[in-house]
Structure 1
Amino acid sequence: MSELGWGFEIKTIDEAGYIAGIAAGYGNVDHGGDVIMPGALTKAIAGRATVPMLLFHDHKRPVGAWSKFVESDAGLHVEGKIAIKSEAGRDAHALAEARALGGLSIGYKTIRHRFEGKTRQLHELALHEVSLVPVGMNDRAVITHIKSLVEDGGMPSVREFEEFLRDAGGFSKSMAAAIAAKATPHLRGEPEVKANPDDFWSAIDAALKS
């Protein structure tokens, strides 16, 4: 089975674990030189009731299931539920809320493909699972909206955020410190940034990409 990181925009995530977003972007070349062509997943999702939701492609850590699939010009939209009563599900939910999970990666098998220059066009894929991961291979793989934190104001302290990134998110001590440093003014609610929560996410995205 192959793994491929694509665009992931969480549109909603709530305390009950319901989550929705874009699982695969169509027509966007990732850093590995692959591009999913429109319709490549049509057969894979036809008649499918669920697709496993994993954490970090670890088949020993299922965290829920995707149960709704809708294709558009942008890609494959998915909806599902994180099993927050399980230990792995609680970890995944907490990581998503803390924005430590910034990408989604599909586990798949290539059925049909062809090359256009150095770009491999994926025309038909078998979809095995969709995982939550820290950073996808594609530049679009960035969470842009976490309702429970931004709108409800559930910001952690600087120390809590750094420890969370290191202990739960799997980031190195130096990386966690760098990300937390970017977020410090926002986490402390300093006057010049308090009214601009979007700047917080921009700072985290910049730190992750660097």
Structure 2
Amino acid sequence: MNRAVLIEGYAALFGAPDLSGDVVRAGAFARSLRRGGVPMLMQHKSGALAGRWTRLTEDGRGLFVRGLVEADGSKAMLNAGLNGLSIGFRARLWRPRAEGGRELIDVDLVEVSLVGQPMQPRARFSTVGGAARAA
């Protein structure tokens, strides 16, 4: 029986520098979220669909995501402990930070991936349930 696994977490955290020094500002994803159609990939590999996002939204903390992991290989990696999230994006509007990296003000969100080592160490997901309904 091929049952999907429901996951949720934060793919980006506002105001928190990632390992390259980039800081995402609230509202940076607004245009992309209106457009929709953001794929769930495995390790940023084009065409490696892990499942599908059922909810992507900005809240006071960051970019919250919820989705169904449907690919058998991706579910096996979850069972092995994979729990990182990473955003694939193109920066539209940004400015350099004195500390290094960029302040990301407006980005085109291209995809959100399940990864082993996220650039934002606190970008993590947890399993909510198996074969659960997407809300």
TM-score, normalising length from structure 2? 0.83
Q: Note if contact 1:104-1:133 (Cα within 8 Å) is conserved in structure 2.
A: yes
**Aligned residue for 1:58?**
45
**Alignment of 1:116 onto 2:104:** no
Structure with the bigger percentage of helix: 1
**Aligned residue for 2:59?**
72
Q: Which amino acid aligns with 1:91?
A: G
**Aligned residue for 1:194?**
none
**Aligned residue for 1:104?**
85
Q: Distance in 1 between matches of 2:42 and 2:86?
A: 10
% identical aligned pairs: 35
Q: Among residues 2, 24, 35, which one is paired with 2:23 in the alignment?
A: 35
Deviation readout 1:35-71 (Å, 9 max, x if unpaired): 10111001110142x3111111111311212121221
1:119 shift after superposition: 3.7
Distance 1:127 1:79, change over 3 A: same
Greater relative contact order structure (CA < 8 Å, 6+ sep)? 2
TM-score, normalising length from structure 1? 0.55
1:22 shift after superposition: 1.3
Q: Note if contact 1:97-1:146 (Cα within 8 Å) is conserved in structure 2.
A: no
Q: Distance in 2 between matches of 1:128 and 1:26?
A: 18
1:131 shift after superposition: 0.7
Deviation readout 1:147-189 (Å, 9 max, x if unpaired): 66xxxxxxxxxxxxxxxxxxxxxxxxxxxxxxxxxxxxxxxxx
Distance 1:65 1:16, change over 3 A: closer
Q: Note if contact 1:135-1:142 (Cα within 8 Å) is conserved in structure 2.
A: no
Q: Distance in 1 between matches of 2:124 and 2:55?
A: 21
RMSD over aligned Cα atoms: 1.8
**Alignment of 1:138 onto 2:125:** no
Q: Distance in 1 between matches of 2:120 and 2:56?
A: 21
**Aligned residue for 1:90?**
72
Q: Where does the alignment leave 5 or more consecutive residues of structure 1 unmatched?
A: 1-14, 84-88, 149-210
Which ranges of 4 or more aligned residues in structure 1 deviate by more than 4 Å?
A: 145-148
Q: Distance in 1 between matches of 2:35 and 2:123?
A: 27
Q: Where does the alignment leave 5 or more consecutive residues of structure 2 unmatched?
A: 130-135
Q: Which amino acid aligns with 2:96?
A: F
Q: Note if contact 1:102-1:136 (Cα within 8 Å) is conserved in structure 2.
A: no
